[in-house]
Amino acid sequence: MRTARRLKSLQARLLAPLLGLLTVVWLGAAVMTWFDASHELDELLDGHLAQAAALLIMQQGHTHEEDSVEDAPSLHKYAPKVVFQVFHEGRLVLRSANAGTAPIAGNAQGFSTVRLTDDAEWRVFATRGAEHDVQVYVGEQTESRSSILWAVLQGVLLPLVIALPLLALVGWWAVRQGLAPLRHLSQVLARRRPQAMEPLLIPDLSTEMVPMVQAMNGLFERIEQMLVSERRFTADAAHELRTPIAAIRAQAQVALGAGNDAAQRDHALQFTLAGCDRATHLVEQLLTLARLEAAPASAADAVAKADLSALARRVAADLAPTALARGQTLELEALAACQVAGDETLIGVLVRNLIDNALRYSPNNAQVVVSVAIESGQAVLRVQDSGAGMTEPEIARLGERFYRVLGSDQPGSGLGWSIVKRIATVFGAQAHVSRSERLGGLAVAVRWPR
């Protein structure tokens, strides 16, 4: 949770690692300083202790009165932190004012750390003279070493304590300044009209933001293209829907006004019904297309398989009566089975649209051949007819929704090809229109990659 929240603020994302790293580095430096300083200090002060002990041994030449202990004068306020004892032949002859009468470090020679009667910790150096008749102890309170170390350490840590908030403040300000172009951009975006699709023009754009603004402009462009195509689609759809409705209305009114003219009334009513069928077909096609447009652009990953041959057989059987009624021949040349990638229902819609178009736009008595084959490893559905075919410019315009070849008298919706292309795209297939070598009319081939 905390990371998620922290990630939300660029400010925090930039500042937190920076200040964190700074603190760690500084603390590391402090620890190293501590070890270094304490090591050096120990060596130095131990050296002093040894040196002092040596001095005391050297001074042993001078004679002491029997049975008397000399107390050394205390000359400095730090004197109570230092202690020494000098024994001669087992007898205490010289000591500091704060030293007791018992040897402070027993028999141990060299450096040792002991706790004395005052319950403080002392660093003690014990040594004997060359003739082993003198025993010298020199001690120093360890606490005084610690206070020196602390003083050194404070010198290191204090700047950090002061600098950290200062750095945070400066960092915050710098980041804020650095993010100003981002705030400016958001203001520009907030002020934009929702319909505005022109590219963003921001002067003095920082280099880091150029890709983002470019991406946004690209997005605006794509949205605009989509809107334009949507608007055109709506206008075209309105046109295509209004015409059959206008026809239905006109024919119904003619039927109403026919009076005693039964022939005219029947004719008008027939046309009214035909108009309803046409409007229904158009609405169905529109809905199919709308559903397809809502579908993701590529469903090639989907593992669904459809049997192209079986679908072609079924659709051809469905449409055969229509063909027969117009004296058209509908032939099917299909493999026993041919599996292609794709949803069965959608591929069925594709096959139906292709065959339906071929029959619809071919004259009476025309020939339509549907074939399913494997060509160089690719499954190919081909629908050919002996109709008038199409000219190159007509083929080029075929992709436009609602485009129908002028003068064709068939009540098509002009959406069939759009639907075919869309379904093919969804399943990674390619649709291609050309002139039929075999029948002279139009040939449409849909290829599925291997």
Partner 1 sequence: MRILLAEDDSMLGDGLRAGLRQLGFQVDWVRDGVAAERELASGDYAAAVLDLGLPLKDGMDVLQAVRASKITTPVLVLTARDAVPDRIRGLDQGADDYVVKPVDLHELGARLRSLVRRAHGQMQDVLRCGAVLLEPSARRVSLNGECVTLSTREFDLLHVLMLNADRVMSREQLEQQLYSWGYEVESNAIEVHIHHLRRKLQPDLIQTVRGIGYTVQRTSAPT
Using CB under 8 A, list all residues that contact partner 1: 235, 238-251, 253-254, 257-258, 264, 267-268, 271, 274-275, 278, 406-407, 409, 411
Residue 292 burial (CB < 10 Å; 0-12/13-18/19+)? middle
Assign residue 95 a region: left if phi > 0, alpha if psi is -120 to 50, beta otherwise?
beta
Count Cβ atoms below 10 Å from residue 2 Cβ, excluding itself: 6
Q: How far is the CB of 233 from partner 1 (least distance, A)?
A: 14
Phi and psi, residue 437, nearest 5°: -65, -35
Reading the block at residue 216, the tokens are 């946004």
Rank residues 111 and 403 by Cβ distance to partner 1 and give the closer one. 403
Q: Which is nearer to partner 1, 206 or 253 (CB)?
A: 253
Closer residue to partner 1 in complex, CB, 270/329:
270
Nearer to partner 1, 185 or 241 (CB): 241
CB of 194 to partner 1, least distance (A): 20
Sign of CA dihedral 91, 96, 102, 106: negative
Nearer to partner 1, 297 or 406 (CB): 406
Assigned token pair, 360 = 């619809």
Q: Least separation, in Å, of the C-beta of 273 and partner 1?
A: 11
Minimum CB separation of residue 264 from partner 1 in Å reads 7
Secondary structure, 3-state, 282-316: HHHHHHHHHHHHHCCCCCCCCCCEEEHHHHHHHHH
Pairing verdict, β 430-435 and 367-375:
unpaired
Distance of CA 383 to the CA centre of its chain: 45
CA distance 349 to 312: 10
**Angle, helices 416-426/262-294, rounded to nearest 10 degrees:** 20
Give the type of residue at 180.
A
In whole angstroms, the minimum distance from the beta carbon of 416 to partner 1 comes to 18
The residue among 279 and 351 lying less far from partner 1, judged by its C-beta, is 279
Nearest distance from C-beta of residue 192 to partner 1, angstroms: 24
CB of 279 to partner 1, least distance (A): 10
Identity of the residue numbered 251: Q
Residue 382 C-beta: closest distance to partner 1, Å = 29
Strands 430-435 and 70-72: unpaired
Return the number of the residue (178 or 363) whose C-beta is nearest partner 1. Answer: 363
- Given the complex with partner 1, which of 169 and 227 has the nearer CB atom? 227
Mention every residue, 6+ apart, whose C-beta is less than 8 A from residue 112.
105, 123, 124, 126
